[in-house]
Structure 1
Amino acid sequence: MGQRHQLFLVARVQAAPGGPDQYRCVAAFHHQWCYGKLPLHCVRRLKHLAATKANTALIQRDLDGYREGVQKSRRVPCPYISFLAGTAFSIDIEGEGPWKYFSDIHYQSATMGSTDGDNNNGITVVDITNPVDLAYCFVSIGGDMEAEGYAEVPNRVPLTATQYLRAYYPESLDPLASQSEQEAEEVDQKAIDDLDDIRLLTLDVLAAVWPHEYRPEVDSDERSTVLREAATDCEDPKPSTSIDPSVARAATGDVTMDLSKRCLSSAEIFATLKEAGPFSRLDISHNPAVDKAVLTQLFQEHRFEWVNIDGCSISNEDIVDLLKSQPSLFRGVEAIIHPVFLSANSLRDEGNSKGMPVAFSLLYKATFRTSRCVLPFFGVDQLVQNLLDVARALMVLEVIGNTPSSRNMLSLFAASYRSGRPWATRDIQSIPLQTTSGDLTEGYTLVVLPQRMLNPIPSPRGGMLFQYGIIPPGGERKFIDVATFLDCLKEDGWPERKDEKAVEQVIKAYNEGGSLLADFQDVTNALN
C-alpha cells in the first residue's frame, strides 16, 4: 500500500584512495507516500537547505570524506547528507496553506540499485556534487506509474518536473474550469516553476552511477567529458568551506574568528585570540595542535556559541569526557562541529547517545513508538527556537491524523537559532542523538503527547491542544511549564537570551496550544 518512492543522492567522489573522481550514490532512502507534487516540493526544500552556507560546508565535508576513503559505512557513507535530505523529504512546518507537511522516511543502503526498492511512483535523483548548484531528475523505473493508472511517461530516462507532475495532473487550460480547479492548476504550475532554476540531471550520470540499469547516450570517451562537465557546470564547482577573511560575520550577526587549516601552535592560537576583538564563534578546524587540553583552556577563557574542531586532535572520548566532567564550560554553546555529532550511528532508530550526558532531552509519544532525543549541550536562543518549532508543528493539526513522527521531532532539534531567517534556510549542524534510557533525572526533559483520534481537545487558535510538561533535573517528580523552565535556566546561570521576542512567542504558543501534564506517575508509566 502507499505511494512508494525512493530518493537517491549522487555525487562525483573519489571512489578509491588516490583514484579519479567517479559518480557514486552517496545516500538513499524510501518514502512510503510521495507522488505528484510532493517530490517536487521535497527537491525545492533540499535546494534551499543545501545552499545555506553552514549546510554547504558540512555537505562538502561529507563528500571530501568519501573522496579520502574514510567513510565508515558503505550503507550510509555520507551521514550528514543522508540526514539533511531526509529532513527535506519528511517535514515542512512552513508549508503552503493550513496543512504543514509531515511524513516518515526509511534510510536505505547507498549501494542498492535504483530499481531495487519497493516502488510504484518512480524515483527522485539529485546530484549534490556542487551543493549550491544541484541537478535533479525524476525517473519512472518499470512502468509502475502507468500500472497505477497515471499517464504514460518514458521509462528509465530523466524526467523533468513538468513530465513527472503532469503524469498525475494533466495541465488544465479550460477557461470554464471551476475556481477550485483553477486554484489546483495554479498550485501545480507553481510546483513546476519552483524547480526552473535547477539543472536537469542527464542520462549519462544515471548510467555512471548504475551502469547495469541505464544505457548512456554517448560513447565512453565522450561520456567521460560529459560527466566532468556535468559535475562542474557552474561558476564555483567546489564551494569554499572556510571563511575569508579571518574575522567574518555569521548569518545570525555573530562574529566568527577563522583559524582553520593553519599550522599554528597552541601558544600562537591563544595569542591571536587574545588580540582579537569580541567574537562568539571560532573555526579552528584541521589544526593538530588543538587537543583536549587546548580545547579545555579555550572554553575556560572564552564563551563560545559555535566552535568547529573537526580534524583536530580531539577524539570522541575526549568530547564525552569533557561534557561529563565540566558541563558548565558548554553552557550556551549552540553547535560543536565534530565527528561525534555527525555520525551515521545517529540515523539508526535504536539508542546511540554514546554515553553522552544529557543537558536537555525530548521524550515524544508518537503514533507507533516513543523516542527520546538528547542534547548534550544547547544554546538558550537555539532551544527557544526548537521549542517554538515543536509547538508550531503540533498546533497545525486541523484534523487528527497528520501527526509528526518521531523522526520529524528529532529533525526539529537539529536546527540552529535562525534570527528571523525562514525555516527553509535553517542551519542544520548536527545529527540528533537518541537514547533508550528511561533515566529522567539527568538534565531537563520535555515530554510531549500529541493529540490522538480519541478525545481531541480543540485549541482556541485552531488545531488541537497537545499535552506537554518539562521535568527538572535531579529527580523531581513534577512537570513545569515553558515559562518556568526559562526562568530556571536564568537562575542556574545560563547565558542571557538575546531574542526576547522569541521568548514571548514560545510562551504564548505553549499557553495557547499546550495543556500542562499533571499526573507524573501516570504519564511516565504510559511512556514506558
Structure 2
Amino acid sequence: MGQRHQVFLIARVAAHNAADTAARYRCVGAYHHQWCYGRLPLIAARRFITLVKQKDNAEIIREQLQSIQGKYGLGKTEPHMPAIPCPYPTFLVSSAFCIDLEAGHAYGSGVSFQNSVLDANMGSGDGDNNDGITVFDITDPTNPAYCFVCVGGLEGEVAVGGWTPLTAEQYVRAYYPVPNEKQKEREGVKETEEDVQKRIDALSGERLMTLDMLAEAWPHEYSAAPNPTKDTAASNSSTAVPSLADLTLRPAVEHAIKVGETEELEGLVWMPGKADHMKSVLRSQVSFPDSGLSLLAKVLEHEAGSTSNTIDLSGLALSDSQIHSLLPSTGADKIELLNLSHNPNFTVDILRTALTLYPKLRRLVLLSTAISDEQIHQLLVDEPKLFYSIEELVHPAFLSWQNDVCYPVSFAYVGIHGYGVPSSACLATFTPASVVQSLTDLLSPLAELGEYEMYGLLGTSLAPQVAFASGVRGEGESWQDRRVHCFPAFNNAPFSGKGWLFVGQWETMSQSGCRYGFVQTDLEPDPPRATIYDLAGFLKEMAAEGRPPAAESAVNKLEKIFVDLEQRQEAKLWTEPEFVTFTGKFTMYNMRRY
C-alpha cells in the first residue's frame, strides 16, 4: 500500500586505489518515501534544491563529499562504501521530502529517518517502487541538478518512458495531463492545473541531469548515449575570468610577504574586490608566514565591517600563536560568526581562547580541523559555560546520523505525538533564542492545522529533528532558506541524566491530554525528580545561568502559541506526577519506535 518513491543523491567521487583516478558519479545517499507522487516530488525537489544552495549548508555538503574522496572501492571492492556515506545531505533530503514548517504551508509525512534511509549501494530501481524516483547531483551544491525517472511504471494516467531522465513537467503530466477547455469547467480542475503549472515553473531554471550521469552512477541499469555530452556545469558553474589587475595582485602579495613589506598592499584592502583576492593568496600559503599577519589582520578588519560581524579564518594554515595574536584585533565585542575550518593546526586550546574572547559569538564552524569528536565532547562536559552563547556549533561530531545520541546534550526536545509516536531531538549547544524559534516552528502548525494535516505532522518523528536543526533566522528570512547546522540525534534514554528538556505530549484533535513544559531533570531510578517550568520560568532560569536573552517579539509569539494550544487542544503544563508517568510511557513507546 502506498505511493512509493525513492530519492537518490549522486556526486563525483574518486574511488580508493583505482587504476583510473578520475572522480566518477556514485550514489552518496538514498531515502524511501511511502507516499510521494504527482506534485509532491516536485514540491520536495524545490525545497531540497533551495536547502543545498544555501551557502552555509553547501559548505557542509562539500566537506562531507571531500571526506569520502578516494576512501572507498568501486562496487564490491574493499573498503566498501557505507550505507550512509554522506549523512548530512541525506538528512536534508529527508527534511525536504517529509517536513515543511513554513508559516501557512506546514506539511508532514513519513516516519523516522532510521526506518526510511536506504543503502547508498543499492540500485536505483531496487526499491519498493510504484511512483518513480528523484535523483539529484550535488557535486557542486551551489549548482545542483535533478531529474525524475520511471523505474517500474508510474501510477498516473499517462505512460512515460522508463529508465531515462524526466523533467518536472514530464513527470507530473503523467498524473495531471493538460486539461482541455471543457475539462477546466469542472469544479477544481482549473485551480489544480494552475497549481501544477506553478510546481513546474518552480523548477524551470534548474539544471537537468543527463542519461550519461545516471549511467555512470548505475552502469548496470542505464545505457550511456553513443556520443555522451560531458557535463561540466557542476565543476565550472562559478568560473570567472580574472582581470589584469587581479592577475598582477597575486605575485605582488607573494613578494610582499616574502620580503615582509605589506604596508602598501594594506592600503588597498578597502578597494572593491581586493580583500577577497588577497585572502585567496594568503590561503595558498602552505605554512603561514608571520610576515603575512599584518595584511591578514587588515583583510579581517575589512570583512568584519562589511559582512555582518563575521570572521572567516577557514583554509588559513595558521598556528595557535598566530590565531591568538589575530583574534583580539577583530572587534571581539561584535563578532557573531567565526569560521575556523580547514586548519590542521587548530587545537582545543585556541578554541577555548576564541570562545572566551567573543561574548556574542552565535555560530562557530569547525570543519576539518585537528579537534576530534572526543575532544569537543570533553570540552562541552568540562567547560559548558564556554558555549552558553553558541546557537550553532558546526563540527563533524554533530553532523552524522546516530541511532542514539553519543555526544553531551545540553538541551533536548522529547515528545509523544499523535497515536504513540516517540520523538526526540538533542542539541549539544543552545540559546534561549534558538529554542524559542525551534518550538515556534514546530508548534505553530499544531495550533493552526486541521486534523488531517496535523495527523501527518504528528505521525513522523522527523519533525522535531528538522525544527531543532535550524539556525536562528533573521527578520524576513524564510524557513525554506534556513541554515541547517546539525543532525540532532535521538535520545533513547532522555530522562537518565541532568539537563534541560522540553517535553510535549501532542494528541490528534479527537484525543485529549496534551501536556508540555520545560523540565530540568535530575532523575534517579527511584524516585525520579524533575522541576517543571513554563516559558517565562524557563527564560528566567536561562538569564540566571548567564545565557543571552531571546528577542521579546519572538517570546511573545511563542507565548501566544501556547495560549492557542490550550484553547484548541486543552494543552496544559505538566504536573510532576503526570510527567513521571510520561517517562515510563515514552520508554514503552520507544521500544517499538518506527
TM-score, normalized by the shorter chain, greater than 0.5: yes
Measured in 2, the distance between the counterparts of 1:243 and 1:365 equals 50
Structure 1, 6-15 or 174-183: larger mean CA deviation = 174-183
Cα distance, 1:395 vs structure 2: 2.5
Residue 57 and residue 236 in structure 1: after superposition, are their counterparts in 2 closer, same or farther (change >3 A)?
A: farther
Q: Would the aligned equivalents of 2:414 and 2:425 in 1 still touch at CA under 8 Å?
A: yes
Given the alignment of the two structures, is residue 92 of structure 1 paired with residue 100 of structure 2, yes or no? Answer: yes
Task: Give the match for residue 419 of structure 1.
Answer: 474
Given the alignment of the two structures, is residue 141 of structure 1 paired with residue 137 of structure 2, yes or no? Answer: no
Task: Give the match for residue 414 of structure 2.
Answer: 363
Given the alignment of the two structures, is residue 205 of structure 1 paired with residue 261 of structure 2, yes or no? Answer: no
Q: Would the aligned equivalents of 2:413 and 2:501 in 1 still touch at CA under 8 Å?
A: yes
Residue 140 and residue 72 in structure 1: after superposition, are their counterparts in 2 closer, same or farther (change >3 A)?
A: closer
Q: 1:469 aligns with which of 511, 517, 520?
A: 517
Q: Secondary structure at the match of 2:16?
A: coil
Q: 1:39 aligns with which of 41, 47, 70?
A: 41
Equivalences, count: 500
Q: 1:488 aligns with which of 536, 541, 550?
A: 541
Q: What are the Cα deviations for residues 367-422 of structure 1, in whole angstroms up to 9, with x where unaligned?
A: 45423321121133222111111112433431152233112211111000011210
Cα distance, 1:254 vs structure 2: 4.2
Q: Any residues of structure 2 matched to 1:159-308 within 5 Å, and which? A: 159-174=166-181, 177-219=185-227, 223=228, 226-232=229-235, 234-236=237-239, 246=300, 254-277=308-331, 278-303=334-359, 304-308=361-365
Q: Secondary structure at the match of 2:390?
A: coil
Q: What are the Cα deviations for residues 261-284 of structure 1, in whole angstroms up to 9, with x where unaligned?
A: 222222211111111113122112
Q: Which amino acid aligns with 1:85?
A: V
Cα distance, 1:36 vs structure 2: 0.3
Cα distance, 1:198 vs structure 2: 0.8
Measured in 1, the distance between the counterparts of 2:494 and 2:318 equals 44
Q: 1:48 aligns with which of 34, 47, 50?
A: 50
Measured in 1, the distance between the counterparts of 2:535 and 2:279 equals 37
5+ residue gaps, structure 1, are 458-465
What is the identity percentage for the equivalent residue pairs of Structure 1 and Structure 2?
35
TM-score after normalising by structure 1:
0.88
Task: Give the match for residue 462 of structure 1.
Answer: none
Measured in 2, the distance between the counterparts of 1:183 and 1:95 equals 22
Q: Which amino acid aligns with 1:16?
A: H
Measured in 2, the distance between the counterparts of 1:433 and 1:72 equals 25
Q: Would the aligned equivalents of 1:123 and 1:140 in 2 still touch at CA under 8 Å?
A: yes
Residue 26 and residue 123 in structure 1: after superposition, are their counterparts in 2 closer, same or farther (change >3 A)?
A: same
Q: Would the aligned equivalents of 1:59 and 1:131 in 2 still touch at CA under 8 Å?
A: yes
Q: Would the aligned equivalents of 2:381 and 2:408 in 1 still touch at CA under 8 Å?
A: yes
Q: Would the aligned equivalents of 1:359 and 1:444 in 2 still touch at CA under 8 Å?
A: yes
Q: Secondary structure at the match of 1:107?
A: coil
Cα distance, 1:426 vs structure 2: 0.2
Cα distance, 1:453 vs structure 2: 5.9
5+ residue gaps, structure 2, are 73-78, 241-275, 281-298, 524-528, 588-594
Cα distance, 1:115 vs structure 2: 0.6
Given the alignment of the two structures, is residue 502 of structure 1 paired with residue 554 of structure 2, yes or no? Answer: yes
Given the alignment of the two structures, is residue 77 of structure 1 paired with residue 128 of structure 2, yes or no? Answer: no
Q: Secondary structure at the match of 2:237?
A: coil
Task: Give the match for residue 15 of structure 2.
Answer: 15
Cα distance, 1:33 vs structure 2: 0.4
Measured in 2, the distance between the counterparts of 1:388 and 1:45 equals 20
User: What do you get for the CA RMSD once the two structures are aligned?
Assistant: 2.6
Q: 2:502 aligns with which of 440, 446, 454?
A: 446
Structure richer in helix, relative to its length: 2
Measured in 2, the distance between the counterparts of 1:140 and 1:29 equals 16
Q: Would the aligned equivalents of 1:341 and 1:430 in 2 still touch at CA under 8 Å?
A: yes
